[in-house]
């Protein structure tokens, strides 16, 4: 059984989608070992409690990043987490934290990276006038929205979209993409060559 650790700060819809896909058997031999929020008021942490999951608040308010990260790392290690999924975790992780879990942290971003990293990616894309957008699940490295890409899902931007409709349509794709990425990573049949995640030669 593989253990997931979820980090979130807010709404938690990506976390809920992962939990539902787990319950539906779409991510086999895997469970959510712990959900951590850096904000006590995050709706996502309430959703985790309602599901009977281990839900921990490690408040980041007014705290040094490295000290906060080391407390989170201790919780994740206590729960023997195999893979950490950032699901709307709105705080930069320290390089130290990233180094504790090499190739074991995923993030989801609501654009086709490397386009529109950072905050409000959907609004950035809409304002730019792109014709295609989507979402990216990638390994976390020490730079923001940067590590090797695991899964991308693209959608056309429609003339009938506004930035809110586009964001909602991208979110639907996020809810599919994250579980796809978790399955690929936990299956382990890949190597990272440069920035590229490729299937291992023996498995092709």
Catalytic residues, which ones? 109
Q: Which of 32, 98, 108, 181 binds ligand GRF (CB under 6 A)?
A: 108
- Nearest-CA neighbor of 168 among 6, 11, 8? 11
Joined together, the tokens standing for residue 169 give 């349509």
Q: Determine if 111 is a binding residue for ligand GRF (CB under 6 A).
A: no
CB of 171 to ligand GRF, least distance (A): 6
Nearer to ligand GRF, 141 or 174 (CB): 174
Q: Determine if 145 is a binding residue for ligand GRF (CB under 6 A).
A: no
Q: Determine if 93 is a binding residue for ligand GRF (CB under 6 A).
A: no
For residue 103, what is the DSSP state? T
What are the phi and psi torsion angles at 108 (to 5°)?
-115, 135
Q: Which of 88, 93, 112, 125 binds ligand GRF (CB under 6 A)?
A: 88
Q: Determine if 110 is a binding residue for ligand GRF (CB under 6 A).
A: yes
3-state helix, strand, coil in the chain (%, to 5): 35, 25, 40
Q: Which of 5, 6, 7, 14 binds ligand GRF (CB under 6 A)?
A: 14
For residue 133, what is the DSSP state? E
- Nearest-CA neighbor of 169 among 138, 128, 124, 135? 135
**Is-contact 85 7, C-beta < 8 A?**
yes
Nearer to ligand GRF, 90 or 186 (CB): 90
**Is-contact 124 109, C-beta < 8 A?**
no
Q: Determine if 13 is a binding residue for ligand GRF (CB under 6 A).
A: yes
Tell which positions 147-186 bind ligand GRF, by CB under 6 A.
171, 174
Residues that bind ligand GRF (CB under 6 A): 8, 10-14, 44, 87-88, 108-110, 171, 174
């Amino acid at each position: 059984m593989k253990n997931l650790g979820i980090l979130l700060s807010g709404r938690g819809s990506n976390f809920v989608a992962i939990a539902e896909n787990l319950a539906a058997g779409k991510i086999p031999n895997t469970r959510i070992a712990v959900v951590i929020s850096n904000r006590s008021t995050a709706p996502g942490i309430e959703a985790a409690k309602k599901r009977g999951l281990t839900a921990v608040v490690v408040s980041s308010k007014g705290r040094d990043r490295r000290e906060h990260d080391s407390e989170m790392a201790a919780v994740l290690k206590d729960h023997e987490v195999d893979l950490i999924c950032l699901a709307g975790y709105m705080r930069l992780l320290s390089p130290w934290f990233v180094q504790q879990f090499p190739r074991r942290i995923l993030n989801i971003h609501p654009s086709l990276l490397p386009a529109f990293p950072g905050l409000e990616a959907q609004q950035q894309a809409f304002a730019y006038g792109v014709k295609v957008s989507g979402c990216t699940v990638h390994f976390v490295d020490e730079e923001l929205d940067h590590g090797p890409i695991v899964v991308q899902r693209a959608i056309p931007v429609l003339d009938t979209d506004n930035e809110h409709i586009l964001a909602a349509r991208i979110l639907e794709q996020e809810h599919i993409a994250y579980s796809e990425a978790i399955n690929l990573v936990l299956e382990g049949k890949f190597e990272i060559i440069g920035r590229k995640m490729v299937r291992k030669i023996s498995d092709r």
